[in-house]
Structure formats: C-alpha cells, structure tokens
Amino acid sequence: MTDKEYNNAVDLYADGVYRFIVKNIRHQEDARDIVQTAFEKLWVNRAVVDSLKIKSYLFTVAYHQMIDHIRQGSKMEITENFETLNNHNTYQKNGELKQLLLQAINELNPTQKSLVLLKDYEGYSYQEIGEIMSLSESQVKVYLHRARLQLKHKLVHLDKVSA
C-alpha cells in the first residue's frame, strides 16, 4: 500500500469507521482515539495490508479496539445518546419510529449492536461481518436474526405503549 492509497483510505473510510464506533460506545473522544489507533496500525502495517481489504482491516482493528475499550469499562458513561448524533440524518421514514428504534438498539448487547450497525450502515455481508468480528457466517446469521426479532418485538411493544 502506497502513501497515496493510505491517504485515500482516510478520505473514504474515516467517517464510516468513526460512525460505527461512536454509535457503539457513544463517546466521541474515545471513538476518535480508536479511529486514530486503527489508522496508525494501518500505516505501520501498510506493507502487508492488501489494498483491496483496507476497509475491512480498518473495521476489524477498530472493532477489537472497541471491545478492549468496553472491557476496560472505564469510560462507558453515556455522554450523548443516539438522538444527539442523528443531526445529519438524511432519511428516516418516521421520526417517532426512528426514536423508538434507536432506543431499542441501545438496549442490545455490544455484539448484536455491532452486527446491526455493520449490516445496516456499511452493508457488509454475513461473511465479511464474520471476518471483522471473528465469527463464523452461520453465527453472524443467527445472532443478527435474533437481534432483528428482538428489535421488532421492542418496536411493537413500544408502539403499543406509546399509542
């Protein structure tokens, strides 16, 4: 990987990696630190990283950094919630439904949340998600389906409560 490819990767993937992390841990400064660490590792290992797999490499490194960060548990205080991070929403069918969905996603465990975020935001396949999260394809499928059903039930329940 050349210097130019690296700088292109910054332009292409920095926002996506940051969004994935900040939606998970909900702490902007820590998310920035994790993203910087991911790109630092990419630069250090630029000689061995395939230029076609830069994005998955960045998400993989960032995901494991995030897991370490969550295990430390030192800065898991919620400084902002999903609502404040949705200022740049480009599209949402229903504002109320969106609020309920974000509330339901915050109640998922970190693995389920990461699965949903990687699937919906980045559009990764089960196989790619498995590579990033060190899971098998079938595990990703099962865990993600459980997360969807859990979100569906919560949305229905919250919709009924709010109605």
Partner 1 sequence: MELNEKTYETYFLSYVDNELSATERLAVERFVQFNPKYATALQDLQNTILTAEHVEFENKFLLYRLNEMDAKLDLNFKKSLYKKEQAPIHTFWNQNMIRYSAIAALLLLTIGTALKYTVNKEQRDILSANNSMPEAKKLTEIKRIDIVSDAQALMSNQLSQALIVKNNSKEQVVTKNITEPFETLPIGVENTKTASNLSTILSNTISQAAESTETLASIEKEQHTIDPQHSTVVQNTYQSESFEEININETDRVIYISSIEIDSDKIRGFTRRLNAIFKRNKSDKQ
Q: Where are the beta strands (DSSP E) in 108-162?
A: none
CA distance 54 to 56: 6
Residue 57 CB contacts under 8 Å (≥ 6 apart), including other chains: 42, 49
Give yes or no for a contact between 132 and 63, defined as CB atoms under 8 angstroms apart.
yes
Does 57 bind partner 1 (CB under 8 A)? Our answer is no
Exactly one of 45, 51, 79, 125 binds partner 1 (CB under 8 A); that residue is 125
Query: Of the listed pieces 47-55, 61-69, 72-80, 111-119, which binds partner 1 according to CB under 8 A?
Result: 111-119
CA distance 133 to 139: 10
Report the alpha-carbon angle 143-61-1, nearest 5.
130
Does 43 bind partner 1 (CB under 8 A)? Our answer is yes
**In this complex, which beta carbon is closest to partner 1, that of residue 71 or of residue 97?**
97
Torsion of CA 121, 117, 132, 66, to 10 degrees: 120
Exactly one of 77, 88, 160, 163 binds partner 1 (CB under 8 A); that residue is 88
Query: Of the listed pieces 12-20, 47-55, 65-73, which binds partner 1 according to CB under 8 A?
Result: 12-20
Residue 26 Rama label (left phi>0; alpha psi -120 to 50; beta) = left
Does 139 bind partner 1 (CB under 8 A)? Our answer is no
Does 157 bind partner 1 (CB under 8 A)? Our answer is no
Does 107 bind partner 1 (CB under 8 A)? Our answer is no
> What residues make contact with partner 1 under the rule CB under 8 A?
3, 6-7, 10-11, 14-15, 17-19, 22-23, 32, 35-36, 39, 43, 85-86, 88-93, 97-98, 101, 104-105, 116-117, 119-121, 123, 125-126, 141, 144-145, 148-149, 151-152, 155-156
